[in-house]
Amino acid sequence: MDKLMKTELDRIKGDLETMRKAMGVSPSMGRDWIRWMERDKWMGLWWCLPGVILIAVALLPIDRARRYLGLVPDQWAGLLVCAVLLFLASFLMRKVAADDGRPADLVRETKRVNGMSTEGLWFSAAMGLELVLYFLWGKQYGIGFRPFWAGLFLVMGSSCLVAAVAAKAWPLLGWAIPFLGYALCLPLAEGHRELGTILLGLMFIAVALSFSVIAVVQIRLLDRQA
């Protein structure tokens, strides 16, 4: 009787998981997630790297008008930060979604949160369209660079905040809160280029710390539920 009941429960659980997968719905966190979440919880700190680069460039006592191999230091810093961001996005996504024995539902949830599922792709497409419309709007009305730049991060931060709450994709708060904080602090850097660069660097460091804090909170909540 017990064996029959266990078989039936396993079948129901499998059916529910299949439905969640088909609908792109967030699965409930399981005990078998904890080991992998513990292993990955500090990986978000890698996002400190572009922030450290930006802050270091802003503080270096160099001639910012001088060209090195045809580019000024700020341009070289921008290229380096872009390269680091592309590398980190690729490296971290491969790492946390790797087929290394982690539970399949954890992999699906990771892909969902990071825009690699059907639901995530729709969100990415909507956000892409939103940014295109924002750029067109800014060009049409001749918005200056500084208010345009601050508005860009307000738009992205607000979108991530709405997605995090609506889809219960809480790691997106790791982008939303620093983006919004950076946009709101930009007026403090008015007329101070180096301070603006430092604020951008601090934003990336805040992103890194937010990811790790969110991961730790999720692990503790999962421990309490067990």
The per-residue pLDDT for 137 is 93
Q: Give yes or no for a contact between 204 and 47, defined as CB atoms under 8 angstroms apart.
A: yes
Verdict on whether the full-model pTM lies above 0.95: no
Distance (Å, rounded) from C-alpha 194 to C-alpha 41? 32
Phi, psi of 85 (to 5 degrees): -60, -45
- Those residues of the chain that have pLDDT short of 70 are 1-31, 96-99, 226
Q: How many helices (H) and strands (E) does the chain have?
A: 9, 0
**Residue written as tokens 């792109």?**
24
The set of residues, in sequence order, having a beta carbon less than 8 Å from that of 17 and lying 6+ positions away, is 27, 105
26 DSSP assignment: P
What pLDDT does 24 receive?
Answer: 47
Other CB atoms within 10 Å distance of the CB of residue 219:
17
Instruction: Please give the structure tokens belonging to residue 86.
Output: 């592309």
Which residue(s) pair with 71 in the sheet? 68
Which alpha helices (H) appear in 97-192, and where do they start and end? 104-113, 118-140, 145-166, 173-185
* pLDDT of amino acid 108: 79
